[in-house]
Chains A and B, each alone.
Chain A
Amino acid sequence: MSEESQTSSLLEQATASDDPKEALRLAGEAVSKELLVAMKAAGITKADKSVQALDAAGLNQLLALALSKGKLSYRAVDDVLVQLREALSKRTLTAEQIKDSILSFDAAAQRLAMVGGHGGGFEYPTKGNRARDSLMTFARSLHR
């Protein structure tokens, strides 16, 4: 099965799913697959590593959610931060993994917003973006 058809299949499964969590998981997986192919085609170095880092803390799901809404919402970031703090306290994820995941998310979102341009359907400003600020502040707090 080609990457493209895999992505389509995952999105179809997500649409058919009654469980919102499962739908989000499948959508995140679809975005990761498509992003990896696109990053490689765009000639971005270390694309594999970047997407792996994104997936490690489940931020591919946040990217899927942001793409579906056209922007990153503060509410979505807040929910993710709760999950990440819990993962950190339970030691299911390390601070380094979470930090790398956030940085990968930020880089991917910035790239997508740049490529789309103004009015391109996805906005991700680096200034005056409370949702991004919140995410990056958390990443900075994990930086040692």
Chain B
Amino acid sequence: MVNKTSPKTFQVQSQVPSKVKSDPLGPSPSVAEKSLADARQTQADQTTTQQVRIGQGVAPTAQQALDNAGGLLKAQIGARASKPRGRGRRTGALREPNAAQLLRSMKNPEALKDVLALQAPLRQALQN
């Protein structure tokens, strides 16, 4: 990648003495650093140029933004409506016991009168 983007790299490599056919240690640190720095700079320049171009292409004018706002909103509403709800726990308001439901849930309500019959002994036990 470095070699492709930086033509200077080839030039530097050609300055290696001819006696050395293959350098096991690779190019000297100064040469390698220079090549790498050049490559990075070139890449950075390209990236910046690309970003600027994309930015220019995408940035809408005020009128375009206004025209598009309705469409974007519609898309958002559509996405929200079509998105299935998760199965996670949903917390709503606390479900308080409801008198009608409580009454319906009892087959033999009269049985609870036995508890009410404890009122007198409870009064006696807790009079202190």
The chain A residues found within 8 Å of chain B, CB to CB, are 7-8, 11, 14-15, 18, 20, 23-24, 26-27, 30-31, 34-35, 37-39, 41-45, 64-65, 67-70, 99, 103, 106-107, 110-112, 114-116, 120-122, 126, 136, 139-140, 143-144
Q: Classify chain B's interface size.
A: 20 to 34
Decide: A115 near B116, CB < 8 A? Known: A31-B122, A43-B108. yes
CB pair A106 B96 closer than 8 Å:
yes
**Complex contact A14–B112 (CB within 8 A):** no
B110 proximal to A (CB < 8 A): yes
Q: How far is the CB of B86 from chain A (nearest CB, A)?
A: 17
B residues contacting A by CB (< 8 A) are: 91, 93-94, 96-97, 99, 102-103, 105-116, 118-119, 121-126, 128
Instruction: Report the bound CA distance from A140 to B91 in whole Å.
Output: 12
Q: When A112-B116, A143-B91, A143-B94 are in contact, do A42 and B109 touch as well, CB less than 8 Å?
A: yes
B119 contacts A70, C-beta separation under 8 Å: yes
Inter-chain CA distance A14–B119, complex, in Å, is: 13
* Most interface-central of A31, A111, A120 (chain B CB within 10 A): A111
Q: How far is the CB of A116 from chain B (nearest CB, A)?
A: 5
In the complex, A136 Cα to B91 Cα: how many Å? Answer: 17
Contact A140 B94 (CB under 8 A): yes
B106 and A43 within 8 A (CB): yes
User: Among A11, A26, A115, which residue has its beta carbon within 8 angstroms of that of B109?
Assistant: A115
Interchain Cβ contacts under 8 Å between A and B, 18 examples: A8-B121, A11-B122, A15-B124, A18-B128, A23-B128, A31-B115, A34-B115, A39-B112, A41-B108, A42-B108, A43-B108, A106-B96, A112-B116, A115-B110, A121-B116, A126-B99, A136-B94, A139-B94
Q: Which residues of B contact A143 (CB under 8 A)?
A: 91, 93-94
B123 closest partner in A (C-beta)? A68
Contact A34 B118, beta carbon cutoff 8 Å = yes
A25 to chain B, nearest CB (A): 11
Complex Cα distance, B103 from A55, in Å, reads 22
